[in-house]
Amino acid sequence: MGQVRVDLNISLDGYASTTDQTPEDPIGQDWNRLVAAYAATRTMQERVFGQTGKGTTGVDEQYAAAYFEGVGAEIMGAGMFGLHAHPGDPDWQGWWGSNPPFGFPVFVLTHEERPSLEMEGGTTFHFVRTSAEEALERAREAAGDLDVRIGGGVRTVRSYLAAGLVDRLHVGIAPILLGRGENLWAELRELERGYTVTSETAESGTIHVTFSR
């Protein structure tokens, strides 16, 4: 059976979401600063920006490449899929276009009842109105021997961490202070118990911390 994994970019003060979006700048500068080192990697340049053979090849790249390896299913919250921004819209198919960068079943936790969405490239979005634990059972079944990734958002990740259901948590910590947003570490006192925690610093200044068991 595979592992349950989380990979997130956070700030030095623990924020994994940003708050400076505006109608003119819907992504915001904070997000760009938070993920800059990750977006600069060879893997992300290829996967997201279609720039083959470009991008950094150091420590950050090792984590970016690993992000895509061995995952057989993903779980995400309704907000990450976009259901909070598009409530009740039957035509909403997520932020990722017709060929989302998953290639496996994605289980979206929501109170909305929606039919499954089969996309190009092997991604199917399933909308599940069950508990986090039951969603994980379905994702495990779909993943087979591969890993299940808890994709986000922060609250969804925290609920799986708090329930002790995550085998491996990797955070890429950008050396910036965002000061506000959703804090990954809130209400997770002594999370380290039961895990081995390792860390290393990338050339970019990103601090990679991994909780594994």
- Binding residues for a copy of itself, rule: CB under 8 A, are 12-14, 175-180, 183, 185, 187-192, 197-201, 205, 207, 209
Q: Where in the chain does DSSP place strands (E)?
A: 4-11, 71-77, 105-109, 117-118, 124-128, 147-152, 168-174, 196-201, 207-212
- How many Å separate Cα 188 from the centre of its chain? 18
Q: Tell me the β-bridge partners of 208.
A: 172, 200
Q: How far is the CB of 35 from a copy of itself (least distance, A)?
A: 16
Q: How far is the CB of 182 from a copy of itself (least distance, A)?
A: 13
Q: How far is the CB of 180 from a copy of itself (least distance, A)?
A: 7
Q: How far is the CB of 176 from a copy of itself (least distance, A)?
A: 5
**Quick one: tokens of 51?**
């720039």
Q: Which is nearer to a copy of itself, 7 or 74 (CB)?
A: 7
Q: Which is nearer to a copy of itself, 141 or 192 (CB)?
A: 192
For residue 68, count other CB atoms closer than 10 A to its CB. Answer: 15
- How many Å separate Cα 206 from the centre of its chain? 17
Q: Which is nearer to a copy of itself, 22 or 52 (CB)?
A: 22
Q: Which is nearer to a copy of itself, 27 or 177 (CB)?
A: 177
